[in-house]
C-alpha cells in the first residue's frame, strides 16, 4: 500500500480529503491516548470491586482489542514498510500474540472466578511493557521515518469506527473516538 511522501505528492486531493486533513488526529497520538485510557482502566480495576469491576474489565478488553487491531492492521505495516525494522515490529507482534491468549481466557471468564485477578495482573504487566516499548522506541523511530501520516491516520480512524460499531455497543464502551 502506498504510504510514502513521494506517492502522496502525486496523489490528487479532493476537497473532502483536504477538509479531513484539518481536524484529523495524528495516529500515534491516538494510540498514545489509548495507552493512557487503558492504564486508567487497569488502575480502576485494581481498586474496584463487584459489578463495577466486571464492567471495567470488559471495557479494558474491548479497548485493548481495538487498539491491537489498529496497530497490527494499519500502523505496524506502515512503520515496517518505512523503517525496514522487521525485528522490532516482529517483536511487537509477538508481544500482542502473548497478550491475546490471556485476553481470550479473560473473555471466557468472570471477575469472580479464581485466577481472574491474577490473569488481569499478568495482562497489566504485559501492557505496561508494550506501552514502554512503543512510546520509548517504536513511535519515536517511526516519527523520524518517511511515512504519510495523513493516509495512515485516515485508515486508522476508518478501522476504529468499524471496530467500535462492531464491538463498542456490547458493553457500553464510549464511542467518543469514533465520532
Site for Fe ion, rule CB under 5 A: 134
CB of 17 to Fe ion, least distance (A): 26
Closest alpha carbon to 96 in 58, 50, 60, 64? 64
Q: Shortest gap between Cβ of 134 and Fe ion (angstroms)?
A: 5
Q: Which residue is nearest to Fe ion, using beta carbons?
A: 134
Taking the complex as a whole, the smallest distance from the CB of residue 76 to Fe ion amounts, in Å, to 10
Cell readout for 110 is 468472570
- Which of residues 134 and 151 has its CB atom nearest to Fe ion in the complex? 134
Q: Whose Cβ is closer to Fe ion: residue 85's or residue 117's?
A: 85
Q: Does residue 15 contact residue 158 with C-beta atoms inside 8 Å?
A: no
Write out the three cell numbers for 9: 505528492
Query: What's the min distance (Å) between Cβ of 35 and Fe ion?
Result: 6
- Closest CA relative to residue 70, chosen from 42, 106, 38: 38
Tell me whether residue 59 or residue 134 sits nearer to Fe ion (CB atom): 134
What is the largest distance, in Å, between two alpha-carbon atoms of the chain? Answer: 58
Cβ closest to Fe ion, residue 59 vs residue 111: 59
**CB contact set of 157 (below 8 Å; sequence gap of 6+):** 24, 25, 27, 30
Q: Which three cell numbers stand for residue 109?
A: 471468564
Least Å from the CB of residue 130 to Fe ion: 6
Q: Which is nearer to Fe ion, 134 or 155 (CB)?
A: 134
**Within its chain, how far is the Cα of 51 from the centroid?**
26
Residue 63: CB partners within 8 Å, gap ≥ 6?
Answer: 34, 37, 38, 41, 173
Amino acid at each position: 500500500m502506498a504510504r510514502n511522501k513521494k506517492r502522496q505528492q502525486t496523489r490528487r486531493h479532493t476537497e473532502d480529503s483536504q477538509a479531513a486533513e484539518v481536524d484529523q488526529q495524528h495516529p500515534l497520538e491516538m494510540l498514545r491516548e489509548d495507552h493512557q485510557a487503558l492504564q486508567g482502566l487497569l488502575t480502576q480495576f485494581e481498586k474496584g470491586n463487584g459489578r463495577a469491576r466486571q464492567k471495567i474489565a470488559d471495557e479494558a478488553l474491548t479497548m485493548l482489542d481495538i487498539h491491537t487491531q489498529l496497530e497490527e492492521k494499519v500502523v505496524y505495516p506502515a512503520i515496517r514498510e518505512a523503517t525496514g525494522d522487521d525485528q522490532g515490529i516482529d517483536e511487537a507482534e509477538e508481544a500482542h500474540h502473548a497478550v491475546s491468549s490471556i485476553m481470550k481466557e479473560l473473555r471466557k471468564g468472570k471477575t469472580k472466578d479464581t485466577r481472574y485477578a491474577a490473569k488481569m495482573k499478568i495482562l497489566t504487566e504485559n501492557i505496561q511493557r508494550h506501552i514502554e516499548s512503543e512510546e520509548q522506541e517504536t513511535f519515536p523511530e517511526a516519527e523520524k521515518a518517511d511515512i504519510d501520516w495523513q493516509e495512515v491516520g485516515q485508515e486508522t480512524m476508518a478501522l476504529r469506527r468499524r471496530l467500535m460499531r462492531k464491538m463498542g455497543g456490547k458493553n457500553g464502551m464510549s464511542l467518543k473516538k469514533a465520532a
